[in-house]
Amino acid sequence: MNDPGKNEQIEDRAKTLFDDSVERLDAATLSRLNQGRHKAMDELRHAENTVSWGRWLPAAGVAAVAVVTIMVMRGPVDVTDGPVTASDFEMLIEADSLEMFEDLEFYSLLDEVDPETNGNVG
């Protein structure tokens, strides 16, 4: 049963049949293989780009640490003179302000009346 000649015969015949079936794959299958290969190549490019950006990570880390150090050394920034403060918001949400919104029609009427006529009425 361990005849090397017969083993070779089996191997050769199997190889020939296999190669034949590979050569005759249909176009749709070949197209899908092509698409798969393109996806793999996209993956390779993506991996290379990631590595390329990764090279700058240590430098970016050092720069970030430097910026934070400078900010800490300069001390806290004074925000009391800023354009909008917490007290401005408090004024907006006070109850008096809501009353003003209720009388909005009256104020707009006053605005439309001629100032001279307004004086006579007063």
Partner 1 sequence: MSTCTGVFAVSCIREQRTGAKALQRERQLNQFLTEVERRALRIAEIAVRDRDEALDLVQDAMIKLARNYAERPEGEWAPLFYRILQNGVRDWHRRQKVKNRVMVWFGRGASGEDDYDVTANAPDLAGRSPDVELQTHEAMQRLEVSVHELPGRQREAFMLRTFEGLDVAGTAVAMGCSEGSVKTHYSRAVHRLREKLGDHWQ
> What distance in Å separates the CA atoms of residue 92 and residue 74, rounded to the nearest whole number?
34
Burial class (CB in 10 A: 0-12, 13-18, 19+), 31: exposed
- Smallest gap from residue 70 Cβ to partner 1 (A): 22
Sign for the CA dihedral angle at 71, 75, 80, 85 comes to positive
Residue placing its CB nearer to partner 1 in the complex, 7 or 97: 7
Question: Of 5, 23, 58, 93, which one interacts with partner 1 (CB under 8 A)?
Answer: 23
- Smallest gap from residue 65 Cβ to partner 1 (A): 22
Residues contacting 85, CB < 8 A, separation 6+:
79
Question: What is the contact mask toward partner 1 in residues 35 to 74, using x (rule: CB under 8 A)?
Answer: xxx-xxx-xxx-xx--------------------------
Q: Are 94 and 102 in contact (CB under 8 A)?
A: no
Residue placing its CB nearer to partner 1 in the complex, 54 or 82: 54
> Which residues here bind partner 1, judged by CB under 8 A?
1-2, 6-7, 9-11, 13-15, 17-18, 20-26, 29-30, 32-33, 35-37, 39-41, 43-45, 47-48
